[in-house]
Amino acid sequence: MIDELKQDAQERMQKTLVALGGALNKIRTGRAHPSILDGLRVNYYGSETPLSQLAAINVEDARTLSVVPWEKAIVPDVERAIMKSDLGLNPSTAGTVIRIPMPMLTEETRRGFTRQAKKEAEHSRVSIRNIRRDVIADIKDLQKEKEISEDQERKAQDDIQKLTDRFVGEIEVILSAKEADLMEI
């Protein structure tokens, strides 16, 4: 029973790390990467559709993305969606190809993106701690119902704390790598 709780906690904490990675990928670093446009949705015949389902997104060079919609008719819609997004990108269209140059990051925008990355990391830390709290509450319930001994309860709590510390440490490593990436000129 305790092993199942530990396994569940580990899986949930791992999912939190994956979610953090996805959130940090959306914070741009000045280099062109297709994941910057992952959250972008385009009005396609009345429904909001992810851009990745409507177009091919490629990296032309280190600072330029190219978007080639599958249908010529939706080129203006894709361009409009990119301009309306809060990514600060300015697309230029040549026929059916939409080129998106990545603007140079100023010191101020780098610091803003770093703050955003820290905020995402803090959300992940809080999520990890909430998972720990939930699992420890379940362990205490087991002890109250006399399904496990006090020694088993204490050992399980220590194991969950070690697991929490390990995942919080991984969050710190991911965050410091992203900060270094953002501040790199």
Q: Is the pLDDT of residue 162 over 90?
A: yes
Range of the domain at 111: 2-26+106-183
Residue 106: CB atoms within 10 Å: 9
**How far is Cα of residue 125 from the mean position of the Cα atoms in its chain?**
13
Residue 164: CB atoms within 10 Å: 20
State the pLDDT confidence band at 29, using cuts at 50, 70 and 90.
low
Q: E strands within 34-185?
A: 41-44, 47-50, 55-61, 64-69, 92-94, 97-101
Distance CA(179)–CA(112), nearest Å, equals 11
Domain count, the chain: 2
pTM (two decimals): 0.71
Residue ending a domain, among 79, 101, 123, is 101
Is the Cα dihedral 25, 29, 52, 80 positive or negative? Answer: positive
Residue ending a domain, among 49, 69, 101, is 101
State the pLDDT confidence band at 32, using cuts at 50, 70 and 90.
confident
Together in a domain, 11 and 44: no
Together in a domain, 167 and 133: yes
Give tens-digit pLDDT for 77-118: 888 888 888 777 788 888 889 888 887 778 888 888 888 899
Give tens-digit pLDDT for 52-83: 888 888 888 878 889 998 888 888 888 888 88
State the pLDDT confidence band at 161, using cuts at 50, 70 and 90.
very high
Give tens-digit pLDDT for 126-160: 999 999 999 999 989 888 888 888 888 899 999 99
